[in-house]
């Protein structure tokens, strides 16, 4: 599988992309242990979309599996089915009738993408710069995420929270995992009543202004009374590529 971002040359899927997809794939949606996470990168990127894609792929696979060795093959299968078959299918996702692959109707256990501060269009445009190529077919990241209205297909498996308008694209109470695109999105998500039960995982660029970085740092520090570093999850997603920093906190158990 090949990868390209923007107007660059096609290349093998780089380490940082593999890592972000694997974070979403490995993240456990366990409502008995709430987690908050932040991933910082050297520059602006479609990181939130890649993490969301990984979480989506895990749900399409066996949810009890812990081996991610084949998740790029899963990506290829998902891309081929969703973009070459589903959009023109005469059924509203009936693999039992069509005898095709994934059942895209199956409700994900609460996967929500909280978009960029500038709104939905800005979020989608960022993700649209990322493409994958498999066996001569190209697939855009924004299409693969199945967000409502982002492709021609009728089935959507990822809900969207518009940070600018503070509106959801559908009713989605208490999602198990919220992936937030940017520091503003992350901070708003942590304050939303709908997101207080599930995990929140935010992405941001270290090119932020100093004041914004300090705001994030102070927010993390304010949770120290109730949260602690989740070393187990950090070990699960290791190794972390150079240039990327990850913070994962888990709610402390009641004594």
Of the candidates 186, 217, 181, the one whose C-alpha atom is nearest the C-alpha of residue 199 is 186
How many Cα atoms occupy the beta-carbon half-sphere of 244 within 13 Å? 20
pLDDT digits (tens, 9 = 90+) for 10-21: 999 999 999 999
The reported pLDDT for the residue numbered 205 is 94
- Checking if the pLDDT of 101 tops 80, the result is no
Question: Residues 187-211: what's their mean pLDDT?
Answer: 93
**Alpha helices, DSSP H, located in 27-119:** 47-60, 71-84, 95-98
Q: Cβ-count burial of 101 within 10 angstroms (0-12 exposed, 13-18 middle, 19+ buried)?
A: middle
The separation between the first and the last C-alpha atoms of the chain, rounded to the nearest angstrom, is 48
From the CA atom positions of the chain, what is the Rg in Å?
18
3-state secondary structure of 221: helix
Strand blocks (E) in 74-212: 111-114, 130-134, 137-140, 159-162, 167-168, 177-181, 199-205
Question: Residues 110-126: what's their mean pLDDT?
Answer: 94
What does DSSP say about strands 137-140 and 130-134: parallel, antiparallel, or unpaired?
antiparallel
Question: Residues 153-170: what's their mean pLDDT?
Answer: 85
- Checking if the pLDDT of 31 tops 80, the result is no
């Amino acid at each position: 599988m090949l990868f390209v971002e923007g107007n660059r040359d096609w290349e093998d899927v780089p380490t940082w992309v593999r890592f972000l997809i694997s974070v979403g794939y490995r993240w456990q949606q366990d409502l008995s242990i709430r987690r908050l996470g932040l991933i910082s990168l050297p520059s602006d990127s479609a990181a939130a979309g890649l993490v969301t894609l990984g979480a989506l792929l895990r749900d399409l696979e066996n949810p009890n599996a812990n081996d991610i060795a084949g998740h790029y093959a899963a990506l290829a299968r998902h891309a081929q089915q969703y973009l070459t078959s589903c959009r023109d299918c005469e059924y509203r996702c009936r693999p039992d009738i069509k005898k095709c692959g994934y059942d895209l109707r199956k409700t994900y256990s609460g996967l929500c993408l909280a978009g960029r501060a500038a709104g939905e269009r800005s979020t989608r445009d960022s993700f649209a710069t990322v493409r994958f190529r498999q066996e001569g077919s190209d697939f855009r990241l924004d299409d693969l995420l199945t967000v409502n209205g982002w492709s021609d297909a009728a089935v959507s498996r990822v809900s969207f929270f518009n940070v600018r308008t503070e509106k959801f694209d559908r009713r989605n109470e208490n999602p198990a995992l919220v992936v937030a695109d940017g520091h503003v999105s992350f901070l708003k998500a942590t304050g939303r009543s709908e997101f207080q039960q599930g995990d929140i995982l935010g992405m941001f660029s270290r090119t932020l202004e100093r004041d914004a970085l300090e705001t994030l740092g102070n927010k993390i520090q304010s949770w120290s009374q109730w949260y602690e570093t989740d070393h187990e999850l950090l070990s699960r997603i290791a190794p972390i590529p150079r240039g990327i920093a990850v913070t994962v906190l888990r709610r402390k158990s009641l004594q």
